[in-house]
Amino acid sequence: MQNLALFDLDNTLLAGDSDYNWSLFLIGEGLLDAKTHQERNEQFYQDYKNGCLDIDAFLEFQLKPLSQHPKKFLDELHLKYMEKIIRPMMTRKAQDLVNRHKAAGDLCVVITATNSFVTKPIATAYGIEHLIGTDPEMVGGEYTGGVSGVPSFKEGKVTRINQWLAEQGKQLDDFAASYFYSDSHNDLPLMRIVTNPVAVDADDTLAAYAAEQGWPSISLR
């Protein structure tokens, strides 16, 4: 029987947050107003860390810039973002962990609350084919600024992995073992249903819970 290996992305496989830094990158490129966006970006990031993020308000904020530019331009911009911001956040230890699971023949999936426009090239760079992210709505090949389907956040990650597995003709119980690597207490709903939850460079809330439950804690930094 095959194993399933699920990886959170921000502050787990990456030594940083791709969502938060995307906004900073757009500000640096002169595509967003620093005054109006930086403060809201910081507040949303704090809310996420504190476990009180309004996901709908955040996605409205985060996806709107995608609707303001052609997809071709955004894709070119993302190449620059990958080289300048993301590759320095990709750690050797994270890549080694992914490689071990792949070598064992495990089904590897990145599952992240961050939108799939930002995260798909990052998952690909780690050699992971499958991504479950929050999907930005597209009409006629361009982004609308809206969301398609259930955001991949908190309990939404459970919904999305179950939907995705069903599309493959599978369910969680079909795997000999299921791993989920995450840094965040926001991911506890999914961590609680896999056979092998692993806390990675965990926030204080998750670290305490993991210790209480006897879950392994590792660092990929």
Tens digit of pLDDT for each residue in 45-69? 899 989 999 999 999 999 999 999 9
The verdict on domain 4-218 having CATH code 3.30.70.270 is no
Question: 188 falls in which pLDDT band (50, 70, 90)?
Answer: very high
Tell whether the torsion through CA atoms of 83, 99, 206 and 216 is positive or negative.
negative
d(CA 200, CA 148): 29
Single-letter residue type at 221? R
pLDDT of residue 207: 98
Q: Answer yes or no: are the C-beta atoms of 53 and 154 closer than 8 Å.
A: no
The percentage of the chain sitting over the pLDDT mark of 70, rounded to a whole number, equals 100
Residue range 6-15: mean pLDDT, rounded: 98
36 contacts 137 by C-beta, under 8 angstroms = no
| Cβ–Cβ < 8 Å for 19, 12 | no
Assess whether 204 carries a catalytic annotation: no
Which tokens go with 3?
């194993």
Q: How many CB atoms lie within 10 A of CB 211?
A: 12
- Sorted by where each begins, the domain ranges of the chain are 4-218
Residue 10 designated active-site? yes
Taking residues 150-166, what's their average pLDDT? Answer: 98
